[in-house]
Amino acid sequence: MAIDLRIAGGDVVTPAGRRPADVLVDGEKIVGLVSPGVEISDVGRTIDATGKLVIPGMVDPHVHTREPGFTHKEDITTSTQAAAAGGVTTIFGMPNLKPPTSSAELLEQVFDMYREKSVVDWNHNPAATDPTQIVPMAEMGIRAFKIFMVVDTGRTYPHPAGTGMHNHGDLLRTMDLIAPTGLPFMIHPHDQALMDYIEGEIQASGDNTPQGYAQAYCAREGVIWDTACDVLIRLAEASGCHVHLMHMQTRRSIDAVRRAKARGIKVTCEINHWSLFLGSWEDVERLGPYALSYYNPPDAKEAVWEGLLDGTIDMMSSDHAPHTREEKEVGWTQMWSAHTGTPGIQYQLPLLLDLVNQGKLPLDRAIEVVCSRPAEVFGLKQTKGVIAPGADADLVVADLDGAWTITNDSVLSRCGWTPYDGRECSVSIERTLLRGQEIYADGKVTGAPGQGRMARAEQTVAATA
E strand or H helix at 350: helix 348-357
CA atoms within 13 Å, Cβ hemisphere of 396? 30
Residues 163, 168, 169, 174, Cα dihedral to 10°: 40
Residues 6+ apart with CB under 8 A from 68: 97, 98, 99, 109, 110, 113
d(CA 410, CA 412): 6
C-alpha distances out from residue 52 to 44, 55, 60, 444, Å: 21, 10, 23, 18
DSSP summary character for residue 213: H
d(CA 338, CA 358): 35
First to last CA, the chain: 49
CA atoms within 13 Å, Cβ hemisphere of 80? 30
Amino acid identity of 205?
Answer: S
Active site residues: 319
Query: How many other CB atoms are there within 10 angstroms of residue 152's CB atom?
Result: 17
CA atoms within 13 Å, Cβ hemisphere of 353? 27
d(CA 149, CA 191): 7
